[in-house]
Amino acid sequence: MSKVRVLVGTRKGAFILTSDGKRERWEVSGPHFAGWEIYHMKGSPADPNRLFASQSSGWFGQVIQRSSDGGKTWEAPGGGVTVSPGGMPKGESNKFVYDSSPETGRPLTTHQWYDGTQHPWEFKRVWHLEPSLDDPDTVYAGVEDAALFRSTDGGQTWQELAGLRGHGTGPKWQPGAGGMCLHTILLDPSNPQRMYIAISAAGAFRSDDGGKTWKPINRGLKSQYLPDPNAEVGFCVHRIAIHRSRPDVLFMQLHGGVLRTDNAGDLWKDISGGLPSDFGFPIDVHAHEPNTIYVVPINAEAGRCPPEGKLRVYRSRTGGNEWEPLTNGLPQRDCYVNVLRDAMAVDSLDSCGVYFGTTGGQVYASADAGDNWAPIVRDLPAVLSVEVQTLP
Amino acid sequence: MIRVVLPPHLRTLARVDGEVTLEIEGQVTQRSLLDALEACYPVLRGAIRDHVTQQRRPFVRFFACEQDLSHELPDAPLPDAVSTGAEPFLVVGAIAGG
């Protein structure tokens, strides 16, 4: 019988929730890396027991952790104890250095700071890890200050794909409230050369040559804070989602707007009609219905909380503009949590499961595509990320 | 023998309990102590000092013998009591966190 494994990153550690295909009874493992912020954990599609986790701390910086047994044990690749105290370390899984070499890199230029002045690029943390679709040793990392890194040795060493940071618009990128983060990485399953990333607050970008060169794909996006209606960058994209059967169609939760593109980002159209708020963070697509999408509307101005204190997932079965609230099992009064951008995921069982975590520490699951919800756990630290693996 | 006390987060990361002990040849300074510590526990590279600049991370402090040594020069000798192992060298995550 199939199983699901839910990987939950929180402000104070990682948790792994497992269940059989019924998704009624859950085992909870954790906290792993107690006390550390776990911005993201994700499993390799090529080897589901290979997991990567981004472990960070404002005091002690960034560490990448790796598991080869589905999260039972972890190691920092290259970070183990050397045999001889005098020996040189074999590697550092926590070393993210922007590539400014003349051969492959770009000069470390500046980006826009909150006050409009220019500010140097400074590495802070890894927001998102995206394992390769076919190689368990290859994984991409989206970092703050915004840049894209890749490891081809299982997370031990990291190299920047500097063509993104250096492609030209960098000085116009600026941080959102959470920092200038590269938070979304999508790999096109039908074209290994094509990938998408998104940055707050710069926008969405596409590469058609495996990450070497990049172009902004923000036409059709609007922001009330940008004076230029045709701005190439400067958009606070919160999340992008893709369905593997239709990789040219993308769905976006923008700072203000839910949008869709049918041509790989060349043009976006608003599909937020009918939602109680066009603001929110996560967006995801049903595993088997590429036109069924999920968002969690949040009040933008009144504290970043669910409108009316009602926690509602909205589902569109028509690719947008027609939305239905999904409330059964979710709190419908006095609820003032948030759902962050990486904190929603779907499984691929026949009856698609949908999962999301809240800043109040709850992880909710629906085993019937959102019709009914129940909490798996209620009292974790604030949830930063949720990923799901469907296992044989 | 040099004794080093790590904060709980770094003990978890390095998978050690209690104090760490190091053998250092020559003069014991912040730099030689941290070099030896990172050589024994490579996962700590970048967690106490920046990878590139080798500067102490902003919220990390060093104490020994009831003195704040955080702003001492990296190559200044540490107190004799640290060099002899009579007192530990403390790595501290400064300021409180929720």
- A181, A196 in Cβ contact below 8 A? no
Q: What is the pLDDT of residue A223?
A: 83
Query: Which one of A60-64, A231-235, A313-317 scores highest in mean pLDDT?
Result: A313-317
Choose among B21, B8, B3: nearest CA to B87. Answer: B3
A156 and A139 Cβ atoms separated by less than 8 Å: no
Kindly state whether residue A44 falls inside one of the protein's structural domains. Answer: yes
Please report the pLDDT score of residue A224 as a whole number: 76
Q: pLDDT value at position B22?
A: 96
Domain presence at residue A109: yes
Distance CA B47, CA A61 (A): 5
Torsion sign across C-alpha atoms A210, A133, A182, A257:
positive
B17 touches chain A (CB under 8 A): no
Mutate: best of A60, A62, A99, partner B, most B CBs <10 A: A60
Q: Is residue A377 part of a domain?
A: no
Q: Number of structural domains, chain A?
A: 1
Q: In what order do the strands lie in the sheet with A293-295?
A: A283-285, A293-295, A313-316, A324-326
Q: Which of B43, B50, B51, B60 is best to mutate for the A interface (most A CBs within 10 A)? A: B43
For the residues A236-258, what does the mean pLDDT come to? 96
**From A61, A85, A90, residue closest to B47, measured CB to CB:** A61
Give me the pLDDT at residue A80, please.
Answer: 58
Residue A4 within any structural domain of the chain: no
Please choose, from the candidates A248, A267, A271, A268, the residue with its C-alpha nearest in 3D space to the C-alpha of residue A258: A271
Is A331 among the domain residues?
no
- Rounded to whole angstroms, the Cα distance separating A11 from A359 reads 9
Whole-angstrom distance, CA of residue A375 vs CA of residue A363: 6
The reported pLDDT for the residue numbered A86 is 41
First-to-last alpha carbon distance for chain B, in angstroms, is 35
Answer yes or no: are the C-beta atoms of B64 and B87 closer than 8 Å. yes
**Partner residue opposite A92 with nearest CB, options B8, B23, B46:** B46
Q: Does B8 touch chain A (CB under 8 A)?
A: yes
Three-state secondary-structure class, residue A147: strand
Q: Determine the pLDDT at residue A89.
A: 41
Q: In chain B, what percentage of residues exceed pLDDT 70?
A: 97
DSSP state of A363: E
Q: What is the CATH number of the domain that holds A137?
A: 2.130.10.10
Q: How confident is the model at residue A78 (pLDDT cuts 50, 70, 90)?
A: confident
> Is B51:B57 a contact under the CB 8 Å cutoff?
no
Least confident range of A56-65, A222-231, A233-242, A307-316: A222-231
State pLDDT tens for residues A281-306.
999 999 999 999 999 999 988 788 99
- DSSP3 helix / strand / coil % (chain B, rounded to 5): 25, 25, 50
Nearest CA distance, A392 vs chain B (angstrom): 32
Give all domains of chain B, ordered by start, each with its CATH number: 2-93 (3.10.20.30)
Contact across the interface for B43 and A76, Cβ inside 8 Å: yes
Tokens 């003032």 belong to A336
Q: Give the whole-angstrom CA distance, residue A280 versus residue A296.
A: 6
The percentage of chain A sitting over the pLDDT mark of 90, rounded to a whole number, equals 84
Are A293 and A261 in contact, with CB atoms under 8 Å apart? no
Burial class (CB in 10 A: 0-12, 13-18, 19+), A379: exposed
Instruction: Return the residue of A nearest to B13 by Cα.
Output: A33
Quote the pLDDT of residue A91. Answer: 47
CA distances (Å), origin A279, targets A174, A236, A360, B9: 19, 11, 19, 36
- How many CB pairs lie under 8 A apart between chains A and B? 79
Report yes or no on A64 lying in a domain: yes
Read off the tokens for A305.
């909380």
Q: What confidence score (pLDDT) does residue A277 get?
A: 95
Instruction: Quote the mean pLDDT of chain B.
Output: 93
Neighboring chain B residues of A122 at a CB cutoff of 8 Å: none
Q: Which residue has the higher pLDDT, A162 or A106?
A: A162
Contact B39 A93 (CB under 8 A): no
Domain of A186 in residue numbering reads as 36-76+92-242
Nearest CA in chain A to B60: A59
The span from the CA of B74 to the CA of B89, in Å, is 14
CB atoms A76 and B45 under 8 Å:
no
- Identify whether A248 is part of a domain: no
Structural domain includes residue A219: yes
Alpha-carbon span A342 to A72, nearest angstrom: 23
pLDDT at A51: 98
Chain B: residue nearest A12 by CA? B98
Asked if B53 is an interface residue toward chain A (Cβ–Cβ < 8 A), one would say no
Q: For residue A23, what are the CA distances in angstroms to A28, A61, A230? A: 13, 36, 47
